[in-house]
Amino acid sequence: MAESYTRLVQALSDLLGADNVRAHERVARYTTWRVGGPAALLCVVHDARALARTVELVRDTSRPWLVLGRGSNVLVDDAGLDGVVIVNRAAGLAIGKAEGGRRKAEVDAGDRLPTPDSRLPPADVGVAVHAESGVLLSVLARQTAAHGLVGLEWCHDIPGSLGGAVVNNAGANGGVIADVLCAVRVLPSVGPAREMDASELFFAYRRSALRSEVAVPAGARPVVLDARFELQRGDAGQIKQRMAAQREQRKATQPGGASAGSVFKNPPTDSAGRLVESVGLKGARCGDAHISTLHANFIVTGPRAAAADVLALVVLMRRRVREQCGVDLVPEVQFVQRGGCIGPPPEDP
């Protein structure tokens, strides 16, 4: 085991550079809650080719592994991960003329994004946007808005990356990823990378076929390498005005500080935040984490918070709402266990 681990570290160092491969690095600095223990090994990738090759190297070992984007929808155990965390910083972005039709195909995991084309097509022709999975949603929104493209402006203030947004069908301000996604390129747990049409992802509210609602080994799920959208031309000034209005609305209704956004999905006919507030939990605290007094579906952490603090509040919110309102809140965030499984936070920590 020690020999195979040494070979893995050397192979990853050769691929990514020794500075991007680190032993016993705390995962907390890579999550928006700023909590989580150390990974046995953590590596940082900067393009989709390196992401694919890193996954191929790691999945051939017996060690648990996890691809982590901006860590905005996950809670990592205080014990960390007894395996490999791959931090995805693949942020390539290309904007150009849309191709006709949608094609499914097996493709080489090392394929690169097309060269960006600043010569956009006429207003009545769709514009293709190709983005690697580690690109920030805020960057994706700002860049497409700057080109006068409609369809992604809603995500300009979401602190996550594209890969997680696809997996979770992220949405805000009346828009969702499913509305404009054409296809994604994924690397399955076995076999080569392949392109999947958006229809194969079976999108629903805050979920897709790439997300599991039960705890499974993180490496069992396909890894999103990049995605393709088709957007329509609009008025850049109006798009920026909408983004500004959305930004002000978010500031007025959602807390700042270290959080992971909404903890629970909204029930079909209600709001998770309203339900948590109705059972008197606004402001409730555990350790250095508390339920926001501005929006009760947010948990905000302080500098001394632990994952156990957050988890205790998640369990409290869910139990109290079930007991007093008869509603079973479904977590939007996912919990990463030390053994490498990822899924809903446990109901009894």
Catalytic sites, residue numbers: 206, 262, 332
Is the dihedral angle over the CA atoms 68, 211, 156, 269 positive or is it negative?
Answer: negative
The structure tokens listed for 303 are 């500098």
Eight-state DSSP code of residue 2: H
Q: 3 CB contacts (<8 Å, ≥6 apart)?
A: none
Q: Look at residue 308 and give its three-state secondary structure.
A: helix
Helical ranges in 103-235 per DSSP H:
137-146, 162-168
φ and ψ of 76, to 5 deg: -100, 130
Say how far apart CA 82 and CA 41 lie, in whole Å: 8
Question: How far are the Cα atoms of 33, 70, 73, 74 from residue 257, in angstroms, in the given order?
Answer: 9, 15, 15, 16
Question: How far are the Cα atoms of 24, 142, 321 from residue 159, in angstroms, in the given order?
Answer: 25, 13, 27
List the 81-88 sheet strands across, edge first. 21-26, 38-45, 81-88, 65-68
Q: Look at residue 4 and give its three-state secondary structure.
A: helix
Say how far apart CA 25 and CA 334 lie, in whole Å: 21
φ and ψ of 155, to 5 deg: -100, 15
Q: Nearest-CA neighbor of 37 among 90, 88, 75, 87?
A: 75
Eight-state DSSP code of residue 118: -
φ and ψ of 46, to 5 deg: -120, 5
